[in-house]
Amino acid sequence: MIEIVGLLAGTRRSEESKGPPTPFDAAFIADYARAYQEAGFDRVLIGQNARSVDSLTVASWAAAATDRLKLMIAHRPGFMAPTMAARAFATLDQLSGGRVGVHIITAFSDAETRNDGDYLTKEQRYHRSREYVGILRAMWAATAPIDHTGDYFRFEGAFSEVRPVQPSIPIFWGGASDLGVRFGAELADVYALGPGSVAQVAEQVTKVKAVARVGGRSPRYSMSMRLVIADTDTAAWQRAERLLATVEENQAARGLLGRDLGKAAEDTARRAAEADTAADDPCLWTGLTRATQGRTQVMCLVGAPDTLVAALSRYYRAGIDNFLITGFDNLGDTARIGAEIAPALRRLAVAEPRA
């Protein structure tokens, strides 16, 4: 089975938009969620960072605006008690008819977590996330009050009167470090990978599979990728050039160029540079990652619909069956991906089922 996932933005703006950021737009969020549903997407990610809108609240709004679209709610352990989070997610799962998924975010960088007063190291955050997921699942399964004493959380008599529609709620997990892989292989229902070349993604899938196999587990695998789509390959590359010029103009206008963004951004930029050397990925483009100095994990596939389907098919064969694919014209590209790319990927899964 292939799952097609979108990214639910909080404003109409995208990287193609010139000028200053636009304000939060509740009406557009509802319209965008409905557009994803109408385009046949299975699920949408509601992202979260130290300055973004609240993901759980936006997920509730999106759930109310749709009736089939599933949710992948980014959630950072440590800022809400896990017992409260378990009840919140179970409540929304019931209200939405079983459409909730939780994407555990251990955080992009130490600098960002300190924006919200979290001074744990990355290694400590991973250990906390592991304990947190265990508590979520224990709460969703509990038929009587439970106690817990761990390294990061302690409570007595915790219970939830509301349970998920299914026995549990799917857990998505991301992280490429050794500890992230170890805990993700242990905990994830879907292991979420960042963008990369086919070779990079295949290497990461193989690594996680090997660790998961030791514990008798077999998670599914997700990958995020932006698509620069046009009627022809030539037109798509021309669109990519215009997009890059706009991003560089906006970066300069906001004084973002030249800032020290820390190791996480450096690692992202390095991964993009390594992906650029992959001669077997002719439509992979890392221009936006380099233009933002690794600030955003934006790698793209550029081309006409048939070219993009062929490229994404190679990721499927590398082990990916959950595709987080979005464009840059929020509504227009969403419709086009739903009509011209998603059906072909789903036919691929039927023609080449997983072993």
Indicate the domain borders of the chain: 3-226+304-351
Which pLDDT does position 292 carry in this prediction? 76
SS3 52: coil
Q: How large a percentage of the chain has pLDDT more than 90?
A: 75
pLDDT band at 148 (very low <50, low <70, confident <90, very high): very high
pLDDT band at 17 (very low <50, low <70, confident <90, very high): confident
Q: What tokens appear for 2 in the block? A: 């292939």
The pLDDT tens digits for 238-286 are: 999 999 999 888 877 766 554 444 555 455 555 655 565 555 688 999 9
The pLDDT tens digits for 149-195 are: 999 999 999 999 999 999 999 999 998 899 999 999 999 999 999 89
Q: At what angle do helices 330-340 and 26-38 cross, to 10 degrees?
A: 10
Fold annotation for 3-226+304-351: TIM Barrel (3.20.20)
Question: CA-CA distance, 153 to 135, in Å (whole number)?
Answer: 9
> With 60 as the cut, is the pLDDT of residue 207 above it?
yes
> With 90 as the cut, is the pLDDT of residue 301 above it?
yes
Of the candidate ranges 82-86, 126-130, 351-355, the one whose mean pLDDT is the lowest:
351-355
Residue 72: how many CA atoms within 13 Å on its side-chain side?
Answer: 28
The pLDDT tens digits for 66-82 are: 999 999 999 999 999 99
The pLDDT tens digits for 85-129 are: 999 999 999 999 999 999 999 976 788 889 889 999 999 999 999
